[in-house]
Amino acid sequence: MATFSVLDLSPITEGGSVAQSLENSRLLAQAAEENGYKRFWLAEHHGMKGIASAATSIVISHVAAGTKTIRVGSGGIMLPNHSPLVIAEQFGTLAALYPGRIDLGLGRAPGTDMRTAQALRRNMEASANNFPNDVVELQALLGPAAENQAIIAVPGADTNVPIWLLGSSHYSAHLAGMLGLPFAFASHFAPDMLLSALEIYRERFTPSETLNKPHVMVGVMGVAAETDEQANYLFTSMQQSFVALRRNARGRFPAPVASMDGLWSSDEKIFVDHAMSYAIVGGPETIRRKIGTFLDQTKADELIISMPIFDMEARLKSLRLFAEAQQQLSKAA
């Protein structure tokens, strides 16, 4: 049975604050630890009024300081936005502060709009094209320092922080397989290439010092509640957020609404429904069924769940219900 983890964006809700969002991430991680989740990952996004995790390594430290055993990491760091040395130093520091608990998931998308990406990267074309070399360079900086090595990450060298490649297309599947790294697919918002990317990754996988066989994580949006109706109501926050994203009108994370009628066009509904193809939304029986079907399709080793819920108590309730579903599915396996 796949292990379960949590992906969090530190949502800044309408009427909320950045400080409260960051504290909610810490509370959610503590609850995830108590309920047996394996990892708690945070994602790098920039210039988004509804996301507080832009300085991802700092938020990881904030969360890790409030927990004891759960692995905490990035889902992910957008490596082309940074030099490999900077990330090696940041995650080397995290590894020193929280030994054996830090993960480094890497992506190559900007995590923002093109103008903000330009401000972050300066040379966007070179950054994107250098991604494979930057991954290899980062691996070396986090590994044992070679004799006469000119550039050494301090902290960072010989911390061997586990690196994951994240992706929503075939590109990272090929690269993760070639480098023998674990692979996480962003099926929580990009469903189209999921199954073919996993097939490519598994077929092209080359054993490495890091990993001797393919290891797959898949993402879903997840909203669990006592009933299907309650869960669908809570999920309207995410649906509104995706409509705003399509309109390039990003704002704070919205409260749920009784109905999406009149809030989206037919084309927008099609767009959101497609992006959320693998979303697992419902009461306990519904989510168990959907989880089982999704894991049968993907044969994934891990499932990472993003829980886009406005109310913190409802978010914590959803987390507990997914943990219960995992336990029940494990017993039935």
pLDDT values of the chain reduced to their tens digit, one per residue, 333 residues: 899 999 999 999 999 999 999 999 999 999 999 999 999 999 998 888 999 999 999 999 999 999 999 999 999 999 988 999 999 999 999 999 999 999 999 998 765 556 666 665 656 555 667 899 999 999 999 999 888 888 999 999 999 999 999 999 999 999 999 999 999 999 999 999 999 999 999 999 999 999 999 999 999 999 999 999 999 999 999 999 999 989 988 899 999 999 999 999 999 999 999 999 999 999 999 999 999 999 999 999 999 999 999 999 999 999 999 999 999 999 887
3-state class (DSSP) for residue 14: coil
Rounded CA separation 318/308 (Å): 10
Rounded CA separation 169/161 (Å): 25
The reply to whether 52 falls in a domain is: yes
Q: Are residues 2 and 109 in the same domain?
A: yes
The reply to whether 206 falls in a domain is: no
Q: Are residues 135 and 253 in the same domain?
A: no
Give the domain-ending residue among 161, 187, 203: 161
What residue numbers bound the domain in which 333 lies?
218-333
**Please, what is the end-to-end C-alpha distance for the chain in angstroms?**
7
Q: Are residues 240 and 117 in the same domain?
A: no
Give the domain-ending residue among 144, 161, 178: 161
Q: Are residues 73 and 140 in the same domain?
A: yes
Q: Are residues 56 and 149 in the same domain?
A: yes
- Number of domains present in the structure of the chain: 2
CATH code of 119's domain: 3.20.20.30
Q: What is the 3-state secondary structure (H, E, C) of 178-196?
A: HHCCCEEECCCCCCCCHHH
Rounded CA separation 320/168 (Å): 28
Q: Would the pTM of this model clear 0.85, i.e. be above it?
A: yes
Q: Sort strands 163-167 and 183-185 into parallel, antiparallel or unpaired.
A: parallel
Rounded CA separation 175/141 (Å): 19
Q: Are residues 152 and 5 in the same domain?
A: yes
Longest pairwise C-alpha distance within the chain: 65
